[in-house]
Structure 1
Amino acid sequence: MSILNKLSHWYFSKDALPYWCVFIFDCLVVIFSGLTCYTLDHGAEMTSDNFMPIVGTLSFYLIFYIIGFRAMHTYSGVMRYTSFSDISRIAMGNFIGVTIIAILRQFFNFDDWFVPIRMRELASTFVLSTVIMWTARMIVKYMFEYYRMDQAAKPAFIYGVKNGGTSIARAINTEETRQFRLYGFISDAEDMVGKELMGIKVYRNDSNIVNKMTELNVKTLLISPLKQKALANNPVMADQLIEAGISILIMNTTTEWDGKSDISTNQLKEIEIEDLLPRDEIQTDLKAVGDMLRGKSIMITGSAGSIGSEIARQVAEFMPERIVMIDQAETPQHDMRLFMKKTYPHIKSETIVTSICNQSRMETLFKMYKPDYLFHAAAYKHVPMMEDNPCEAIQNNVNGTRIIADLSVKYGVKKFVMISTDKAVNPTNVMGCSKRICEIYVQSLDKAIKNNSKNGVTQFVTTRFGNVLGSNGSVIPLFKEQIKNGGPLTVTHPDIFRYFMLIPEACKLVLEAGTKGHGGEIFVFDMGAPVKIADLARRMIKLSGANNIDIKYTGLRDGEKLYEEVLNDQEITKPTFNKKIKIATVREYDFNKVKNMIDILIAESYKYDDMKTVTEMKKIVPEYKSNHSKYEVLDTEK
C-alpha cells in the first residue's frame, strides 16, 4: 500500500480528493464514450453480448489516454474555475491518447488480443469523450457560479472593454467570495457597443449611461486602468456618476499593472478627488536624469517637505553616490531618515537638522559633502503666515537662498535647482514676492558667472509651478479634514481658481528641467486646466457620501488672488525638450545691483519693521502689488 501511495503521489503530483475525482470521472467518460461509439457501429445486441470484453478492451486503451492526461495535466485544474486553457489541454490530452493507440496498432495487432475496435470508432471516441469532458466542466463551472452567488455582492459595471476591463471581469468570476455581480461593460468604441463580452452586454458611453445603471440598480463602477485618464478628462461623466451616488473604484496607484495579468478586486480602491482632476500624461526623460545623477553627491534642502522628500525618493532611484538631506523640521526629517534606511539602505544618506540660514553650519556641510547637484526646496510657503511675518519670509526664503547659492558657487556645485512658485508671478503677497526675489538673485548670479564678472562654474536653474496635490497644508487635505468633522468646507471665494499637479509628476519635471537646463532659465510647467475650488469642494462632498455639509465662503485671505498666473505680463515662453516644460523669457538684472538691494532688504528685516521691510521688497519687485493686505497702502504712496 505504501508503494502504491508513493506511485500515485509521483504520478499525479496531488493527493487531494478533488484531483482524483476529476481523474476518475475522465476515465469513466473515455470508457462510456467507447461503449457508445461501439454500440452505434455494431448495434446494442452485440455490445450486450460482449459487454465485459469490450470494457476490458477500452480499459486497456484507457492506459494511453491516461498518458495524455498526465502530459497535459487535464485533471489538475479545479472544474469550477475552468478556463479556455483547461479546455484546450483536455482536447490535446485526448488527442495524445488516441494518437499513441493509432501508432501502436501499426506495430501490434491488438485485435488478436482484444475485442476488435475500428479506428473510426476510436476517432469517434476521441471526439465524444472530449465533448463530454468540456461540457461537464462548463456545467460544473456555471452551477458553482450560480449557487455561490453571494446576495451581498454588489451589482457593478466595468468601464473599459480591452485588457484592463476584461482582466477585472475575469478576477470577479474567479473570486472565492464574490464582491461584485457584473451587469455590463461600458465602451467608448462604437464597434463594441451592443455586443456581449464574456456573456455580458456592452453599453455605449453616452449621456444616458448613468440612467441605465440606475435602472438596473447598479451603484458601482469599476474603472479599467486604461480608462482612468479618460474618466478624469470627462468631468461631465464623473459629475453624473457622483451625483447619482455611484461608487467609483479604480486601481490603487501603489500597484503596478503589467497590462496582462488579472486585476484582483483587492487592488481596487474608492476614487479620490485627486484621481478626477483632469491632466495630461506627463512623460519625462528619466534616462538622461539618471545618467547625470548616478554616482554623484546630491544635496536637497527642505527634504522633509512634500516636494523635497519626493525629490529625495526619486533621486535615490538613480543610484547617486550620496544624498544629503537638510531640513529644520526634526520629526518629518526623522521620518525621512527611517524611510531612506529601510528603502535605500545601499545609498549613503545624511539627514541633517538645521536651517539654511545658519551660514557657518551650511558652509561646514558644503565643505564636508561637496555636492555636485543641489535641489533647493526649503522655503516658508504659507501665504497668510508670511503676510503676517514678512521679516521671517525674507530671512528664511531670501537670505537662506542667498547663503546656499553663494556656497554653491564657492564649492563648485555643478547645478543649483531652485523650486519656485506661480505666486512669484505678478506677486500679490509677501510669500510670492520673496520667491520672486530668490529667482532674481540666482538668475543674476548665473548671468554674472557666464559673463565672467564672477568666478564660478555653477549653473542656476529655476523651476516654477503651482499647487501640488496633497502637499502639507494644501486645500484637499484641509477639505478632507473638514468633511471628517462634519463641515462646513471653507472656500475663500466662489470664483477662485487654482492649478494642480501630482507631487511625483512635478518632481519628475523638476529633475528633468534641472539636469537638462544650462543655467539662467526659469522653467515653467504646464499645469493643465485650472480647477475652480468651489467645484472641487462640491465634488469632495459628493464623493464622501456625507449629508448636510455646506460650503462656507470666508473671503479672500490677505495677499490672495483669484487666479494664479504662471508668467509675468512681460514674459513669453519658449519650447524645450519636453512639451510640458517651457522657458520663461524674463527681464535680466545686474548682479551687483541686485546684491546691494538684497543686502539692504535683509538688514531691514532684522529690524522687524514689517512696513519698511515690505517697502524694500517692492523696490526690488515693482510689479508686486498687495491684495487684500495691510500693505496695499504702500502701493498708493508716491
Structure 2
Amino acid sequence: MRYSIHSICDRLCERKKYVNSWTVLFVDILLSVGSSFVALLFVDNFIVDLSKNAYLFVIVGSFLISLLVFMALGVNKNIIRHATIKSIGKMGVAIFFKEVLLLGLVSLVVSRMFNNHAFACFLVDFLVTTVVLIGFRVMLVLVYDLVISLYRSSKTRVLVYGTDDKSVALKKRMHTSKHYHVVGFVNSDKQLKSYSISELPVYYFEDEANFACFVKKYNINGLLFPSPETAHREAEGLVRYCQAHGVKNLVAPPIDVLGDGLKKTVIREIRIEDLLGREEIEINTKEIEANFAGKVVMVTGAAGSIGSELCRQLATLGVAHLVLFDNAETPMHELRLELERNFSSLKFTPFIGDVRQKERLQGAFEKFHPQVVFHAAAYKHVPLMEENPCEAVRVNVVGSRLVADFCVEYGVDMMVMISTDKAVNPTNVMGASKRLAEIYVQSLGLAMERGEIRGKTRFVTTRFGNVLGSNGSVIPYFRKQIEQGGPVTVTDPRITRFFMTISEACRLVMDAATMSTGNQIFIFDMGNPVKIVDLAERMIRLAGYTPNEDIKIKFIGLRPGEKLYEEVLSNEENTVPTGHDKIRVAKVREYKREEVLGAYDQLAELALAVKVEDSVRLMKQVVPEFKSRNSVYEKLDK
C-alpha cells in the first residue's frame, strides 16, 4: 500500500503529469450542464412548472454558452492543484457571464415558459453552478494535499526562515518537494509568535536552549533560508544553533536560477561563502550598462577566478564583442563552453596568449582594437612569488606595462587594472610587484594629462583583498583538507584577512570603472577582518564535524612574506570618498614617468636574466615602503 501511495505522489509531483486542459474543459462543461439541470428540477418543483421544451432549451443553451465562455476565459488552462484565489475568482466570473448570457437568451426567445420567473430561476442556477464548479476545485486541492501529506513522513522536516514574501513563496515552492517537508516558519520578531502563515505556525526562539528543546521535541532536521543574505544575518545566531545541535543549515537558490522551477527545486547546504558574504551591494546598473554596451571589451587573465566572473557580468551588459585573453588552455576551454551554453547571443573570441609576450599581446590589440581593457592577468600567490620573484616581475610588472602601453598606442578608451590590498606597504614580492604595476599605470596616465605623451586612455586601478572561493584561496584549500580528514593547517592563530565574494568584487570593479574620471586608484570596503582560525572552525562545523576532535587544526607558522594583519585600506586618513559608500579613492604618492622609466627598463632586464637579488633590491628602491617580512630578502632592507 505504501509503495502505491509513493508511486501516486511521485506522479503528482512530476510537473508534466497534469490533466489535459481539454479534459478539464469537458469536466467543467459537464458539471455546468449538470448544475443547470439540478437548478431546473428545483425551479420545476418549487417555483414554476416547466415544460420539456424549457428543459431542452436551457440544457442546450447551458452547454453552448459554457463551452463559449470557458474557452474564451481559459479557465480550463489553470492547473487545479496550484489553484489560487485569483484562478477561482476567474471561474466565478465565467459562471456569472454564463448566467447573464443564458438569461438574455431565454428572455429573448422563450421567456413565456418561465412566467416572469426567469431571473429567480437563473439565480438558482448561478448558485448551484458556483457551488458545484468551485467546490469541485477546492475538493481536488484538498484531496491533493491529503495524498501529499501521506507521503511526508519520510521527508526531511524543515523550518523556513522569515515571514516575508520570499519565505512564503519558498514554502509554496517546497510543497511538492520529494525530499523536504516544511512544518513552520521561524521569525526574529517576537510579536509574530503564535501567528500562522500559509496554514503553518510561526515560531520564535528566545535562546539556544529554547531552540534545542524545540528541534528535539518536533524532530526538526533542517532550517531553510530563502537566500544566502538571510543566512549571513543569522551567522552568529540560528546558524550556530543548528551547527551545535545537528540541524542542517539549508539555502534555496534565487528563483531565476531554478531553470524549470516547478520540476526541480535545488536546495543546498550553506557554505562558508554564504556566511562571510554581505548584503548584496547596490550598483547603478543602467550607468554601467551604458558604459559598456556596444563596445569591444578585452579581458586579460579571462580564465582566472576574477577574469571569468568579469566575463560573465560583461556578457549581460550588451557588449559588442568580448575578447578573452589568457594562456591557460583548459580553463579557457571550460569558460568558452560555459559562455556558449549560457550566453548564446554573445559574440566572443578566446585568444590564447601571454601578457609577457609582446608580439602576441600586440596581435590581440591589432586584430580586435578593444575599446575597454580589464587587466586581470597576474601571479597572485605570495609564497610562490617569494620563491620566484623574477617571474612575478615579468608577469605583474612587465606584463602590466605592456598592456598599458598598447592601450595608449591603440587608442583604448579605458584600462581597468585589478590590483590587491597587498600592494599597500608590501611585505612580499607579490605585493611589491603589484604596487610597481600601479605606479607605472598611474605615471603613464599623469604623463598624458601633462601632455608629455599623446593618448586618450583613462587608467583605473582597483584594489581589494582576498576573494572567497577563488583558485588557490584558503577556503577551497580548507575544504579539501576537511574532505581528507584533516588536519586543517593554519599559519598562525592570530592571523586575519579581509574577504569579499567574487561577484561582489567584480560588481564594484564595474562601478568604479563607470565613475572614474581617469588615473585613480579605487579601494573597496572589505568589511570586517576575519580570523582564519575562526574560519577553519566554522568550516569544520559546517561539514558536520567537531573542531580538534573529529578534525584537528594545526598551526604551521607564517609563510615567507606573509603578514599577520592586512592593512586597513578604507579609512579617512588615506582615502577620499566617492558617490558609492563602498568605494573610495586612495591617496598615494605620484610618480613622474620619466623618473621611473629607466628603473622599469632595468628591472625587466634583470628579471629576464633571472638575477633574483638584484631584481628584489631594485624593487625596494622604487617602492621604498616595501619591507620584507619572514623572508630571505629581509637582508636587503638593512
- TM-score range (shorter-chain normalised) is 0.7 to 0.9
Query: For residues 36 and 82 of structure 2, what CA distance do their matches in structure 1 show?
Result: 22
Which residue among 616, 622, 625 is the counterpart of 2:624?
622
Query: For residues 337 and 262 of structure 1, what CA distance do their matches in structure 2 show?
Result: 26
**Structure 1 residue 457, shift from structure 2 partner:** 2.8
Query: For residues 364 and 326 of structure 2, what CA distance do their matches in structure 1 show?
Result: 13
**Structure 1 residue 530, shift from structure 2 partner:** 2.5
Q: Which residue matches 1:9?
A: none
Alignment partner of 1:371: what SS? coil
Query: For residues 78 and 352 of structure 1, what CA distance do their matches in structure 2 show?
Result: 50
Q: Which residue matches 2:381?
A: 382
Query: For residues 223 and 68 of structure 1, what CA distance do their matches in structure 2 show?
Result: 49
Query: For residues 115 and 21 of structure 2, what CA distance do their matches in structure 1 show?
Result: 34
- 1:425–1:566 CA contact under 8 A, matched in 2: no
Identify if the C-alpha distance between structure 1 residues 569 and 32 changes in structure 2 by more than 3 Å, giving closer, same or farther.
closer
Q: Which residue matches 2:139?
A: 139
- 1:170–1:262 CA contact under 8 A, matched in 2: no
- 2:419–2:461 CA contact under 8 A, matched in 1: yes
* Two-structure CA RMSD over aligned residues (Å): 3.5
Query: For residues 439 and 405 of structure 1, what CA distance do their matches in structure 2 show?
Result: 11
Read off the aligned partner of 1:324 and give its amino acid letter: V
- 1:525–1:580 CA contact under 8 A, matched in 2: yes
Query: For residues 54 and 206 of structure 2, what CA distance do their matches in structure 1 show?
Result: 63
Alignment partner of 2:512: what SS? helix
Read off the aligned partner of 2:566 and give its amino acid letter: E
Read off the aligned partner of 2:586 and give its amino acid letter: A
Which residue among 603, 606, 610 is the counterpart of 1:604?
606
1:98 matched to 2:99: yes
- 2:173–2:265 CA contact under 8 A, matched in 1: no
**Structure 1 residue 521, shift from structure 2 partner:** 0.9
Identify if the C-alpha distance between structure 1 residues 196 and 465 changes in structure 2 by more than 3 Å, giving closer, same or farther.
same
Q: Which residue matches 2:329?
A: 330
Read off the aligned partner of 1:229 and give its amino acid letter: E
Q: Which residue matches 2:452?
A: 453
Aligned 1:334-353 pairs, distance under 5 A: 334-340=333-339, 349-353=348-352
Alignment partner of 1:435: what SS? helix
Query: For residues 138 and 342 of structure 2, what CA distance do their matches in structure 1 show?
Result: 47
- 2:258–2:265 CA contact under 8 A, matched in 1: no
Query: For residues 625 and 322 of structure 2, what CA distance do their matches in structure 1 show?
Result: 38
Deviations 1:44-82 (A, max 9, x none): xx9xxx9xx789866754445445643236666565554
Read off the aligned partner of 1:232 and give its amino acid letter: H
**Structure 1 residue 420, shift from structure 2 partner:** 0.4
Q: Which residue matches 1:475?
A: 474
- The total of aligned residue pairs comes to 608
- 1:294–1:318 CA contact under 8 A, matched in 2: yes
Deviations 1:228-285 (A, max 9, x none): 4232133222222233332233332593589xx9876614333322222241322223
- 1:171–1:264 CA contact under 8 A, matched in 2: no
Identify if the C-alpha distance between structure 1 residues 384 and 192 changes in structure 2 by more than 3 Å, giving closer, same or farther.
same
Which of 54-63 and 133-142 deviates more?
54-63
Q: Which residue matches 2:234?
A: 234
**Structure 1 residue 137, shift from structure 2 partner:** 3.6
Alignment partner of 1:453: what SS? coil
Read off the aligned partner of 2:89 and give its amino acid letter: S
Read off the aligned partner of 2:186 and give its amino acid letter: I
Deviations 1:491-540 (A, max 9, x none): 22223222222222212222232243222211001122322222222222
Query: For residues 165 and 569 of structure 1, what CA distance do their matches in structure 2 show?
Result: 37
Identify if the C-alpha distance between structure 1 residues 61 and 552 changes in structure 2 by more than 3 Å, giving closer, same or farther.
farther
Identify if the C-alpha distance between structure 1 residues 264 and 540 changes in structure 2 by more than 3 Å, giving closer, same or farther.
farther
Q: Which residue matches 1:494?
A: 493
Deviations 1:77-124 (A, max 9, x none): 565554323432443343334334443454455564x79967446434
Read off the aligned partner of 1:298 and give its amino acid letter: V
Query: For residues 353 and 103 of structure 2, what CA distance do their matches in structure 1 show?
Result: 84
Q: Which residue matches 2:226?
A: 224
Q: Which residue matches 1:266?
A: 265
- 1:64–1:97 CA contact under 8 A, matched in 2: no
Read off the aligned partner of 1:95 and give its amino acid letter: F
Query: For residues 471 and 442 of structure 1, what CA distance do their matches in structure 2 show?
Result: 25
- 2:258–2:264 CA contact under 8 A, matched in 1: no
Read off the aligned partner of 2:588 and give its amino acid letter: V
Query: For residues 281 and 159 of structure 2, what CA distance do their matches in structure 1 show?
Result: 29
Identify if the C-alpha distance between structure 1 residues 625 and 200 changes in structure 2 by more than 3 Å, giving closer, same or farther.
same
Read off the aligned partner of 2:183 and give its amino acid letter: Y
Query: For residues 511 and 76 of structure 1, what CA distance do their matches in structure 2 show?
Result: 44
Query: For residues 570 and 142 of structure 1, what CA distance do their matches in structure 2 show?
Result: 62
Q: Which residue matches 2:392?
A: 393
Q: Which residue matches 1:550?
A: 552
- 1:187–1:204 CA contact under 8 A, matched in 2: yes
Q: Which residue matches 2:591?
A: 589
Aligned 1:405-444 pairs, distance under 5 A: 405-444=404-443
Q: Which residue matches 1:195?
A: 195
Identify if the C-alpha distance between structure 1 residues 399 and 77 changes in structure 2 by more than 3 Å, giving closer, same or farther.
closer
Alignment partner of 1:255: what SS? helix
Deviations 1:555-590 (A, max 9, x none): 221111122225399961112232221101111123
Identify if the C-alpha distance between structure 1 residues 321 and 99 changes in structure 2 by more than 3 Å, giving closer, same or farther.
closer
Alignment partner of 1:552: what SS? strand
Read off the aligned partner of 1:572 and give its amino acid letter: N
TM-score (norm 1): 0.84
**Structure 1 residue 465, shift from structure 2 partner:** 0.5
- 1:405–1:442 CA contact under 8 A, matched in 2: yes
TM-score (norm 2): 0.84
Query: For residues 296 and 429 of structure 2, what CA distance do their matches in structure 1 show?
Result: 34
**Structure 1 residue 325, shift from structure 2 partner:** 2.8
- 2:205–2:211 CA contact under 8 A, matched in 1: no
**Structure 1 residue 307, shift from structure 2 partner:** 1.4
- 1:316–1:347 CA contact under 8 A, matched in 2: yes
Which of 261-270 and 195-204 deviates more?
261-270
Query: For residues 395 and 501 of structure 1, what CA distance do their matches in structure 2 show?
Result: 28
Q: Which residue matches 2:256?
A: 255
Identify if the C-alpha distance between structure 1 residues 450 and 198 changes in structure 2 by more than 3 Å, giving closer, same or farther.
same
Aligned 1:109-120 pairs, distance under 5 A: 109-110=110-111, 112=113, 119-120=119-120
Alignment partner of 1:463: what SS? strand
1:524 matched to 2:526: no
Which of 261-270 and 182-191 deviates more?
261-270
Which residue among 556, 564, 567 is the counterpart of 1:565?
567
Read off the aligned partner of 2:413 and give its amino acid letter: K
Identify if the C-alpha distance between structure 1 residues 344 and 139 changes in structure 2 by more than 3 Å, giving closer, same or farther.
closer
Query: For residues 430 and 155 of structure 1, what CA distance do their matches in structure 2 show?
Result: 52
Identify if the C-alpha distance between structure 1 residues 381 and 279 changes in structure 2 by more than 3 Å, giving closer, same or farther.
same
Query: For residues 344 and 139 of structure 2, what CA distance do their matches in structure 1 show?
Result: 54
The percentage of aligned residue pairs carrying the same residue is 36
**Structure 1 residue 183, shift from structure 2 partner:** 1.3
- 2:488–2:554 CA contact under 8 A, matched in 1: yes
Read off the aligned partner of 2:330 and give its amino acid letter: T
Query: For residues 243 and 14 of structure 1, what CA distance do their matches in structure 2 show?
Result: 50
Read off the aligned partner of 1:158 and give its amino acid letter: V
Query: For residues 213 and 56 of structure 1, what CA distance do their matches in structure 2 show?
Result: 68
**Structure 1 residue 613, shift from structure 2 partner:** 2.7
1:355 matched to 2:357: no
Query: For residues 200 and 569 of structure 1, what CA distance do their matches in structure 2 show?
Result: 47
- 1:64–1:100 CA contact under 8 A, matched in 2: no
Query: For residues 457 and 164 of structure 1, what CA distance do their matches in structure 2 show?
Result: 47
Identify if the C-alpha distance between structure 1 residues 104 and 345 changes in structure 2 by more than 3 Å, giving closer, same or farther.
closer
